[in-house]
Chains A and B, each alone.
Chain A
Amino acid sequence: MSRALPADLDCVVAVEQVTDYLEGALPLHARTEFEQHLVTCPGCVIYLRQIQAQIAASASLAAERPAPEEVKRKLLAMFRASRGI
């Protein structure tokens, strides 16, 4: 960037901050710098949206697969034994 001004955040740094940003772990000053960078960087906005889309896609992987019947039988037996039933 222009040598005349104190260095602004660049994209190499910004992509390393995305996780902290989404976690709310950046202090106010750093968060403002990061958001300022987003206003001036369509590339990093896309990157952030990619990560957010990825997180949403990951959530759809959560399995609500029921445990196999045999496993449930074994565990139930274990439960009854442990409770003295």
Chain B
Amino acid sequence: MPAAAPDLQAHLQDLPLVEALRAGDERAFLGLVGRLHAGMVRFARGFVNTDAAAEDVVQDTWAAVLEGIDGFEGRSALRSWIFGILANLARTRATRDQRAVPLSALQRDECEPAVDPSDFLPASHPRWGGHWAKYPEAWPEAQLLSQETLAHVWAAIDRLPQGQRAVIQLRDVEGWSSEEVRKALSVSEVNQRVLLHRARSRVRREIARHVERRPKP
């Protein structure tokens, strides 16, 4: 029997919770808040200027969720729907606050390569043009999971442009499926992958800079 379509699965999984919320079940609501709130604040912070603005946007989102819960049709997972509302409110708030986009972000080449081209041999090399000039170093796992490195990873994610940050947070930090992210952010499958690719590449560069001992030119 083929697996149920992801939409159907999302609907089935969240149904009991949605029913409980509609019925006024406070424990269910607080449970949901407990699971999502911190991630929501962090997500909103990727769009707006201040922590306070992020908290505001999240509060407004919960209000909208409670207003809309009776009409929620389960076409997406509940959290996708919630984060979708959140993304819209955060973007609106960011526009309203006229968040200054750093000039460097505007100047960034839209087609920036995943890896610094100087890490590869030039096309003029007689046998290995386009291959690694030097193999990258394997990252020691213990170091990667150290508090210090994780702080660097988080700072790197913080510095990403809006769209890349949103996707990588939901996919890699929160562990959402690409389907859920697509629905929450209203992006196509391809766009979601492009954003994820760029985000991961930038974060990787930050980690490499921090972890690898080899002196960089």
Contact A58 B173 (CB under 8 A): yes
A-side contacts of B144, CB under 8 Å:
53-54, 57
Contact A50 B168 (CB under 8 A): no
Judge if A38 is at the interface, Cβ distance under 8 Å.
no
Contact A46 B175 (CB under 8 A): no
B-side contacts of A2, CB under 8 Å:
127
- Give a binary string over B108-119; 1 marks a CB under 8 Å from any A CB, 0 the rest: 000001110100
A-side contacts of B172, CB under 8 Å:
54-55, 58-59
| Bound Cα distance A50, B57 (Å) | 35
Contact A51 B200 (CB under 8 A): yes
Q: Does more than half of chain A's interface fall in helix, strand or loop, or is it mixed?
A: helix
Judge if B24 is at the interface, Cβ distance under 8 Å.
yes
B-side contacts of A60, CB under 8 Å:
145, 150
Contact B173 A62 (CB under 8 A): yes
Partner-A contacts on B (CB < 8 A): 24, 26, 29-30, 33-34, 37-39, 42, 55, 59, 62-63, 66-67, 113-115, 117, 120, 127-132, 134-139, 141, 144-145, 149-150, 153-154, 157, 168, 172-175, 178, 189, 193, 196-197, 200-201, 203-204, 207-208
19 pairs from A and B in contact (CB 8 Å cutoff)? A10-B131, A12-B113, A12-B117, A15-B114, A23-B193, A41-B131, A46-B138, A47-B115, A55-B200, A58-B157, A59-B173, A62-B39, A62-B175, A67-B34, A74-B59, A75-B33, A76-B29, A78-B62, A79-B26
